[in-house]
Structure 1
Amino acid sequence: MLRFILLILLFLTQMVFGQRATDEVAVKETIDKFFAGFHQQDSLLIKETVYTPVMQTIGSDKEGNTVVKTGTFSDFLKSVVSIPGNKEFKEELLGYDIKIDGDMAHAWTPYEFWFNKKFSHCGVNSFQLVKQNDTWKIIYIVDTRRRVGCK
């Protein structure tokens, strides 16, 4: 009987950890798809990855004070698609730290941003996602931007 109980516990543990690994992959794929749309300037592809996201940036003003800027998702899309075709830009993600609790996920992604093959700035993206109908959607993005203290 003890053996039977241990087998059931082992099976349930594998199911939980297996689902968690599957969800981590799905969260990463959602973020990767968001950035594929970003780099291709494809607003429709970006929209597939989000659920009316809140978008904020933390940076510094001219005096060096920390400021939080809140933008709209529609303004973000307009800015992405309006980048001239002769300009090259790339946000290179340096890693993923993904945490999941039920239908909520958080992903921390350090990055470097390059414009016309020149380093522009670095920082971290913080994504909040929700799982609806077995699909992960981004609901909140906040990032930091700085030019000092980068690798």
Structure 2
Amino acid sequence: MTRFIFYLFLLLTTVVLAQEDDNTKVKATIDAFFEGFHKGDTMLLKSVMMDKMLLQTTYTTKEGTNVLVSEESSKLMSAIVNRPNDQKWDERLLNYNIQVDGIMAHVWTPYEFWFNDQFSHCGVNSFQLFKDNGHWKIIYLIDTRRQEGCNQP
């Protein structure tokens, strides 16, 4: 019986440590994405994105219409490459809620977006990741954008 308890403990410890390791790697993937986004480093961005990553954003117009916009990842890359030098984009992640199941992960990150050091909007990013040959890659990103209900003046 003691041997059974020992092996059960060993198995549970291994599972917990593997989960913690995946959570750390998933968070590092999201951090690398935003490092590339802030620095304008498309090579860094591409290193954590799957080819043909799907991008969507949601918002409500002033008239109250809910809008869903889908874009190719190439449009994001183009915006970053062509960003004028006098523009500073600063997306500040407020929290990470990471869920991992085997080779799939979901990350929920509330954020504030600052444009040239001025508050612009807030929202939530929802990332879907896939573990591709041992490396976490972003396969899908959808975000919300709003100016109301943010913790800013």
For Structure 1 versus Structure 2, the TM-score category normalised by the shorter chain is over 0.9
AA matched with 2:11: L
TM-score, structure 2 as length reference: 0.96
Aligned to 1:46: 45
What secondary structure does 1:80 align onto? helix
- Residues 108-137 of structure 1 show CA distances to partners (whole Å, capped at 9, x for unaligned) of 000000001000000000000000111000
Letter of the 2:112 counterpart: E
Amino acid at match of 1:42: D
1:28 partner letter: K
Separation in 2, partners of 1:43, 1:144: 23
C-alpha distance in 2, partners of 1:53/1:78?
14
SS at match of 2:121: strand
**CA RMSD for the aligned pairs?**
0.7
**What's the secondary structure of 1:63's corresponding residue?**
coil
Give, in angstroms, the shift of residue 62 of structure 1.
3.9
| Residues matched between the structures, number | 150
Unaligned runs of 5+ in 2: none
Q: Which runs of 5+ in 1 are unaligned?
A: none
The Cα offsets for residues 66-111 of structure 1, whole Å up to 9 and x where unpaired, read as: 1110011001110112111111120000010000111000000000
- What SS class does the counterpart of residue 64 from structure 1 fall into? coil
Q: Please tell me whether residue 73 in structure 1 is matched to residue 80 in structure 2.
A: no
User: What amino acid sits opposite 1:17 in the alignment?
Assistant: V
The Cα shift of 1:21 comes to 0.2
State the match for 1:36 in structure 2. Answer: 35
Secondary structure of 1:33's aligned partner? helix
- 1: CA distance, partners of 2:93 / 2:131: 22
The one-letter amino acid of 1:40's match is K
Separation in structure 2 between the aligned mates of residue 140 and residue 89 of structure 1, nearest angstrom: 21
State TM-score, norm by structure 1.
0.97
Partners of 2:15 and 2:34 in 1: how far apart? 29
Is it true that 1:124 corresponds to 2:124 in the alignment? yes
Q: Residue type of the partner of 1:45?
A: L
Runs of 4+ in 1 over 3 A off after TM superposition: none
Q: Which SS does the other structure have where 1:5 is aligned? A: helix
Displacement of 1:61? 2.5
Secondary structure of 2:147 counterpart: coil
CA distance in 2, matches of 1:118, 1:50: 29
Matched, 1:95 2:95: yes
